[in-house]
Amino acid sequence: MKLVTKLTDWAIVEVADADIGVRSKPLFLWGIVQEDQLGRYETGHYVCTSLIKSIAPTLMQVVTKSNNTYELSGSGQRIKVSIKEFEKLIEGYSPREISQLSSTTSLN
């Protein structure tokens, strides 16, 4: 059985204006760690993954380019962000906080 990282409050993140040399839309996964069977992340901390390689909606799983498997818990969302907004996600801001920041300041 493959070890997985379980996430809650997750989002599939599309970086709208990214040119990173891939033909498809660059998608990443952001979420709050519920459990990490690999011991990399602490429960309650956020994670922003490498590029998504595949999504299995019926299994609620995402596999990243670095071959890590993430199991998604509960309902999530799909969001589209600018590169500057994506940098904020990497820094630890949540998608909700990014949305609030974008409506009050210009992150673009």
pLDDT, tens digit, 9 for 90 and up, residues 94-103: 999 998 887 7
Phi, psi torsion values for 8, nearest 5 degrees: -125, 170
Is residue 73 in some structural domain? yes
Residue 47: domain span: 5-80
Across residues 22-35, what is the average pLDDT?
88
Query: pLDDT averaged over the chain?
Result: 90
54 lies in a domain? yes
The residue ranking higher by pLDDT, 91 or 24, is 91
- CA pair distance 9, 98, nearest whole angstrom: 14
Is 91 inside a domain boundary? no
Question: Does residue 20 fall inside a structural domain?
Answer: yes
Structural domain contains residue 92: no
Domain count, the chain: 1
Tell me what percent of the chain is helix, strand and coil, each rounded to the nearest 5.
Answer: 20, 40, 45
CA pair distance 28, 39, nearest whole angstrom: 21
- Decide if pLDDT at 106 tops 70: no
- Residue positions counted in the chain: 108
Residues 44-71 pLDDT 10s: 999 999 999 999 999 999 999 999 999 9
Residue 95 lies in a domain: no
Asked if residue 45 is part of any domain, the answer here is yes
Q: What are phi and psi of 98, to 5 degrees?
A: -60, -45
Domain contains 21:
yes
